[in-house]
Amino acid sequence: DGGITQSPKYLFRKEGQNVTLSCEQNLNHDAMYWYRQDPGQGLRLIYYSQIVNDFQKGDIAEGYSVSREKKESFPLTVTSAQKNPTAFYLCASRDQPGADTQYFGPGTRLTVL
Amino acid sequence: DQQVKQNSPSLSVQEGRISILNCDYTNSMFDYFLWYKKYPAEGPTFLISISSIKDKNEDGRFTVFLNKSAKHLSLHIVPSQPGDSAVYFCAASVQGAQKLVFGQGTRLTINP
């Protein structure tokens, strides 16, 4: 089955700690994205990557970092510099050069205690 | 600067009737529009899309209408079913920009 997996589903972190969220896809898609969703708000873009070893900041990149060492993996690190890290984090991928449709993983709920 | 707006946070519709979800945008460069459906604690699922060269696209019970002059699109669901209860996001893109811009979402509740 092709798809996007995110782990873990729920993650708890103590304030001041860094944490890494996993995102893996076996769709052979070139582009991958990270969003966060907060209650009553839409999806806001954190980082995206169009190709291995390259990535760009989205609208709310401060306090986050990413890497893209492999085509199928795009991990997101939430650092202690992120002021409001509690949120629902969504990873997506998109086939290039196809249409702009993105396909999403199941998400990770991060709670800072 | 909210480029894509869904002005109705919630909508309640009776089962079997038509659900109409609305979305407005401000960037005239947007040329591709999508609707996603999202259940709580799950990732959004792609529903339907439309290119700016069209004004209507249908897929089963779902139809998306695009009014470019008004910078407005809508999603019609007919007939509405209980499983349609979810949050619906509209999104827009400029071809080649590699990014989607999302609205805030509308929570649709289908009442029996």
**How far is B17 from B57, CA to CA, in rounded Å?**
20
Q: How would residue A98 be classed by pLDDT, with cut points 50, 70 and 90?
A: low
Q: Is the pLDDT of residue A92 over 80?
A: yes
For residue B84, the SS3 value is: helix
Length of chain A equals: 113
- Token pair 């169009």 is found at A50
Provide the pLDDT for residue A25.
Answer: 96
| Partner residue facing B41 (CB), from A44, A58, A107 | A107
**How far is A86 from A78, CA to CA, in rounded Å?**
10
The reply to whether residue A42 touches residue B102, judged by beta carbons under 8 angstroms, is yes
| Partner residue facing A45 (CB), from B41, B95, B99 | B99
Give per-residue pLDDT as tens, A22-71: 999 999 999 999 999 998 788 999 999 999 999 999 999 999 999 999 99
A51's CB contacts (< 8 A; 6+ apart) are A30, A31, A68
Q: Nearest CA to A91 among A81, A79, A100, A103? A: A103
Provide the pLDDT for residue B33.
Answer: 95
| Partner residue facing B32 (CB), from A40, A44, A100 | A100
Best of B4, B30, B38 to substitute, by most chain A Cβ atoms within 10 angstroms, is B38
For residue B83, the SS3 value is: helix
Determine contact: A84 vs chain B, CB below 8 A. Answer: no
Tokens of B20: 């109409």
Provide the pLDDT for residue A1.
Answer: 61
Assign 3-state DSSP to chain B and report helix, strand, coil percentages, each to 5.
5, 55, 45
For residue A16, the SS3 value is: coil
Provide block-wise average pLDDT over 10 residues at a time, chain B (112 residues). Answer: 91 98 96 94 94 96 97 98 97 87 96 94
B39's CB contacts (< 8 A; 6+ apart) are B86, B87
**How far is B72 from B92, CA to CA, in rounded Å?**
11
Provide the pLDDT for residue B64.
Answer: 98
From chain A residues 53-82, the ones with a CB under 8 A of any chain B CB are: 58
Centre a 10 Å sphere on the Cβ of residue A49 and count the other Cβ atoms it contains.
21
Nearest Cα residue in chain A from B103 = A42
